[in-house]
Amino acid sequence: MMAAVRMINMILGTMFLLFYSYQIFYICVPFIKKDKPHKESKLHKYAVLISARNEENVIANLVNSIHHQDYPAELVDIYVIADNCTDNTADRAVKAGANVFVRENLELVGKGYALDYAISRIFNEKGDDFYDGFFVFDADNILDTGYITAMNRTFSDGHRIVTSYRNSTNYGTNWITSGYALWYIRESQYVNHSRMLLGSGCAINGTGFLVSGEVLKKSGGWKYHLLTEDIEFSIAKAIEGERIAFCPDAFVYDEQPRTFRQSWKQRLRWARGFLQVFCHYGLDLFKGIFSKNGWTCYDMLITVLPINVITLAIAVMNVITFSVQIVNGAMAWWEPLWSVGQWCGRMYAMLFIMGLVAAVTESKRIHTSTAKRMKYLFTFPLFQFTYVPISILAIFKKVRWEPTPHQGPPVSSEKIEKTREHTE
């Protein structure tokens, strides 16, 4: 029995290695390939959509950062969707200079419904061809002053959906915020950027993206309402053969959850959302592997593959086997612990190296002290380990969308701008 379990573990481990090994190659891509030169840019008219629920502490920061863009202001209209708010979000958005849509619907809850509401109103009031593209941000975001100009260059190249480099305003607050922030930096530079360089489709990462009016018109608005509407949108577009591009010099900053409780609830929603997306789109993604857009479909399928279900099954199988062996005297009690410890050690080392590469190569874009940057490298793998119980719980627990409270960024817009100038 023990030999059979070891064989199964070895086979599954080899399969996982084969499935995910391409992401190791992704790390090398930005070092060996260069971005293609842009075509001549054209000025486009944009709508900015910001879904905000009780975001009075931060909404003005984002609106102000949009007003301070180096892109022509007359070509950018800002719309804040005050979604089921019970605070002064709407008033503060108006005072900051945004158009405000007040939405009250406690049955259809979530960012996807708020976006669909705003797009429908704009299409009805202004026509479906008034704006060339729609930016989507979360209320806690801050934009680099060259953000829209950079995104417009990529949009002018002919890409109909563009995502951007996601960074964080509160990297140095604690091990939780740094865990999020370093992961987003790694995904921006060594996943989405690599995909773009290789001509593959990218994935939307929550916030900071641009969608052409033509795409939204074809979709009939924003029809993505699962718990993780961003990855649902990415998957749906991959299946349709619509390539999502990445703009490496458009920087959007957002605020990460500060407490483990907030982080747990947010990541539990994400884990449950990934399961939903797999159940809804998994079969179509698999079929898409054999189409013209095959590599992107494979990449997206691996992204939403329910590893938590497989992990739970393997864990249960091993626990039962080890327990039987210990009771029968065929194994000492400490042997399973040693085996688990070795696995954790290997995973820790792999995650540490991933974090190290991102932290060193992108150091000028990390807004914290060198001491904290080094300190949180060692906690980065531990933060990732906490996904294991979260992912397993997501299999069984019913999850609803809930807003994450924001306090405002400890890193100022001025400091972000100075860092951008230093890295150019």
User: What is the domain partition of the chain in residue ranges?
Assistant: 1-29+44-424
pLDDT given at position 338: 67
Supply the pLDDT for residue 305.
84
* 320, pLDDT greater than 80: no
How far is the C-alpha of 194 from the C-alpha of 31, rounded, in Å? 10
- Tell me whether strands 161-168 and 245-254 are parallel, antiparallel or unpaired: parallel
Tens of pLDDT along 183-196?
Answer: 999 999 999 999 99
What is this structure's pTM?
Answer: 0.89
- Cβ atoms of 379 and 179 closer than 8 Å: yes
pLDDT of residue 421: 47
Q: Considering the domain 1-29+44-424, what is its CATH architecture?
A: Alpha-Beta Complex (3.90)
Confidence of residue 424 (pLDDT cuts 50, 70, 90): very low
Of the candidate ranges 44-53, 102-111, 312-321, the one whose mean pLDDT is the lowest:
312-321
CA distances to 141, 337, 417 from 340, rounded to whole Å, are: 40, 5, 45
Place 411 in a pLDDT band, splitting at 50, 70 and 90: low
Worst-scoring range by mean pLDDT, 73-77, 158-162, 338-342? 338-342
Q: CB neighbours of 416 closer than 8 A, spacing ≥ 6?
A: 142, 144, 169, 251, 253, 367
Alpha carbon 180 to chain centroid, angstroms: 10
- Asked whether residue 415 carries a pLDDT value surpassing 60, the answer given is no
CA 109-112-114 angle, 5° bins:
65
Residue 180's contacts (CB-CB under 8 Å, 6 or more residues apart) are 168, 256, 257, 263, 383
Closest CA to 191 of 36, 354, 27, 347: 27
Q: Helical H runs in 305-411?
A: 307-327, 334-361, 370-385, 387-396
Number of C-beta neighbours around residue 21 at 10 A:
9
> H helices within 157-221, ranges in order?
175-187, 193-198, 213-219
**pLDDT tens, position by position, 229-279:** 999 999 999 999 999 999 999 999 999 999 999 999 999 999 999 999 999
d(CA 202, CA 300): 9
Q: What is the pLDDT of residues 322-367, one digit of tens each?
A: 677 677 776 665 666 766 777 788 889 989 999 999 999 999 999 8
At a CB cut-off of 8 Å and minimum separation 6, what does 324 contact? 1
Query: What Å distances lie between residue 194 and 183, 201, 208, 246, CA to CA?
Result: 15, 10, 18, 9
pLDDT at residue 100, as a whole number = 97
pLDDT tens, position by position, 356-406:
999 999 999 998 999 999 999 999 999 999 998 898 898 888 888 777 777
